[in-house]
Amino acid sequence: MYPILLNISSIILIIWNFITLFTVKVNLDECVLIWIFNIALVLMSADRIDQFIKSIYFRSLMYGVIGVGHFLSTFILIIYQSVAAVVVLFVANIINYIADATYFGISLKNN
Q: For every one of its 111 residues, what pLDDT tens digit does the chain have, with 9 covering 90 and above?
A: 677 888 888 889 989 888 988 998 888 888 888 888 888 888 888 877 777 777 788 888 888 888 888 888 888 788 887 888 888 888 898 898 898 888 888 887 776
Q: What is the pTM of this model?
A: 0.83
* Number of structural domains found in the chain: 1
Is-contact 73 95, C-beta < 8 A?
A: no
Q: How far is CA 81 from CA 65, 77, 78, in A?
A: 26, 7, 7
The one-letter code for the residue type at 43 is: L
Residue 43 parent element (H or E):
helix 28-49
For residue 92, what are the domain limits? Answer: 2-110
Q: Do 96 and 42 meet the contact criterion of CB atoms below 8 Å apart? A: no
pLDDT value for 34: 87
**pLDDT tens track for 22-52:** 998 888 888 888 888 888 888 888 877 777 7
